[in-house]
Amino acid sequence: MKKPVVIATRRSRLALWQAEHVKQRLEALHAALAVRLLPLSTRGDEILDRRLDQAGGKGLFVKELENALAEGRADLAVHSMKDVPAELPPGFMLAAVMAREDPRYAFVSNHYDEIGKMKAGSVVGTSSLRRAAQIAQRHPRLEMRLLRGNVETRLAKLDRGEYDAIVLAVAGLVRLGLAARIRSRLGADESLPAPGQGALGIECLQSRREVVSLLEPLADRATTLCARAERAVSRALGGSCTLPLAAYAELANGRIQLRALVASADGKRIVRAEAAGDDPESLGAAVVEVLRERGATEILASLGH
């Protein structure tokens, strides 16, 4: 490609780190390639007073970037996979899903080493219904409270004493050089991750075959298979930020091991399912079938789905 390749990205420091990471990988793979970033503001970054499910869901973080692709202002867009809706608009594709960072969640506090040692009534901040529901079920004595904003904003609110602890993605803290803030890491049994958690996805137009070819070497096979299985769960349940849904897959001995759950918003009812298989989409559908048998349909109905 003679012209510079343009990467559309959100403006947050974490999003810029992720886009710069892709830029460096592309320039290392293709010596003559020039790559530049196009930072954009998204609705998801601007709405800070409401949960994402109340503001319109996870598409809030990707729409402006997709507009830049459609209008030819950018050649590709870098997303956190957890922010990418289960269904892409016609004409768009995920050209590469990169190797996953640690998908766990970090317990961050200035007073406590771990969540189980917090006093009754302590305030825990999180932006996610999924995390809030799982923590509320295991630790009903704690008060869950909304926490929005970028990573630095959330840490500043913790340091001002607005929260006794906050829960953030390990991947984001590690990528920003803030791993020292992590007091402990919540295992998947404590807080099952979001579909795609910790992985980067690169989106482009299906018609841009030269861009697809550039990106192919960045794809990680294991992460791609696992993300496909997780997203199949989300797709089958109409998944968006509007429901407390978790799905996490691992590749073991060549087979995909998939765990998923659906929770009521208050965490008082959580249904879980797990299975193993070879085909990501079939596996996701099978796990959803078990979730529905165990009551997921009723939970979704109570949430207005």
Annotated active-site positions, please? 83
Tell which residue, 281, 303, 302, has the closest CA to residue 236: 281
Counted residue by residue, the chain has a size of 305
Residue 187: phi and psi, rounded to 5, are -70, 165
Element (H, E) at 297: helix 296-302
CB 77 within 8 A of CB 69: yes
> What burial letters (b/e) apply to 174-198, b meaning 16+ CB within 10 Å?
ebbebeebbbbebeeebbbbbbbbb
Q: How far is CA 63 from the centre of its chain?
A: 16
Distance of CA 118 to the CA centre of its chain: 26
3-class DSSP state for residue 190?
coil
Instruction: Yes or no: say if 203 and 83 are a contact pair by the CB < 8 Å rule.
Output: no
CA 15 from centre of chain: 12
CA–CA distance, 105 with 69 (Å, rounded to integer)? 31
146 three-state secondary structure: strand
